[in-house]
Chain A
Amino acid sequence: MPSKQELLDLQFIDARHMLINLAAFLDRIDRHPGTDDYRFTALKTAIPILLESRPDRAKAVLESFSDHSTKIDPCAPFQGAFGAARPEK
């Protein structure tokens, strides 16, 4: 198993790249006209998880984007998924 130093050598630039991309995405949404929606809210809700001291941040982020409802609808109103649970109406 590689050491922390070896992993940093291998993956730091990629992680840095992904973080800057995320920061630029937040700036872009802020800069452009119109209103954001529940997906942007979900993203901002998930971001603080990155700074938590825990061993399962990826799992926690995925759970924060997940539909936690227990109701089972008879049929689907649409087919797709959008990456974040829609707020209950």
Chain B
Amino acid sequence: MKYIEPHAHMVSRTTDDYEKLALAGCEALCEPAFWAGFDRSSADGFFDYFRQLTEYEPKRAAKFGIRHYSWLCINPKEADDPGFAREVMSLIPQFLDCPTVLGIGEIGLNKNTRNELAIFEEHVQLAVDRDLPILIHTPHLEDKLKGTRLILDSLASFSKLDRGKIIIDHVEEHTISQVLDSGYWAGMTLYPESKCTPNRAIDMLEIYGTERLWMNSACDWGHSDPLAVPRCALEMKRRQHTPEQIEQIIYQNPRRFLSQSPKFRL
């Protein structure tokens, strides 16, 4: 079974995980820039991180026959300090022409502050100016509903925006319809304790259809499972979804969205 893992933080994972992904049929994965679990002390830390995403991880993945792509930004948690965030953002343009950088992400909100919103909008403008796809993180737990509404309101204020090139990630039952009804793609993240379980994600597929949805593991340094997508595919099979329906959500959909970047190839 071939599939695409459209959201994984491999800098936090072992080489053994790459092997497991390859054995499970992963052909390509995408790594958005994110919070390292602690705040970095300088913009130089991000420079090194962007080099890791664009130089080192593609080579590590290639050893297992997996194509590795990345998205760049300063994550919302560290974007609450606008001065620092802008210093980091000034580093991004020099990496955008790298052959494996697909777009801007995962930008978004964390605690739904004005500072976070300002930096979010500056990232969106950067993407619009360069006609790049955008991957958006929605906040955790109790902050997700309010944050999703703020993100949608903010995006609506941009006059030149191709909504089909934007994916709003980590949707759950209380945010998915707002995202899809607004014309964006939606991502469902399969986590053991938060976000979606496989069965809840499959419920949403059954209710909302598969037109503009993908699933991801968002595996990182926390409780997460790099094989969450193939495990969910197995659950889909147990729930009598056809092989074609399964391939649609775990392979064809991510391929369709990601192919909007001319750099994405399988």
Contact = CB atoms under 8 A, between A and B. Distances in A.
- Are A and B physically bound partners? yes
Interface of A: 1-2, 6-7, 10-11, 56, 58-59, 62-63, 65-70, 72-85
A83 B199 contact: no
Interface stretch (B21-29, B134-142, B213-221): B134-142
Interface in B123-159: 139-146, 150
B174 A66 contact: yes
A38 B238 CA distance: 38
A72 B153 CA distance: 13
A1 B173 contact: no
A31 B15 CA distance: 45
Interface in B105-130: 110-117
A66 B206 contact: no
Contact of B146 (A11, A58, A68, A77): A68
Contacts of A7: 239
B5 interface: no
A63 B146 CA distance: 10
5 contacts: A62-B145, A72-B112, A73-B111, A78-B111, A82-B142
Contacts, number: 81
A85 B139 CA distance: 13
At the interface, is chain A mostly helix, strand, loop or mixed? Answer: loop
A56 B173 contact: yes
A48 to B, nearest CB: 17
B116 to A, nearest CB: 7
Interface residues on B, range: 20 to 34
A10 B238 CA distance: 8
Contacts of B240: 1-2, 6
Nearest to A59: B173
B169 interface: no
Contacts of A78: 111
B142 A10 contact: no
B217 to A, nearest CB: 20
A83 B142 contact: yes
Given A67-B112, A76-B115, A82-B142, 6 more contacts: A58-B200, A59-B173, A66-B144, A67-B142, A72-B112, A72-B113
Contact of B141 (A74, A77, A79, A82): A82
Contacts of A83: 141-142
Contacts of B80: 75-76, 79
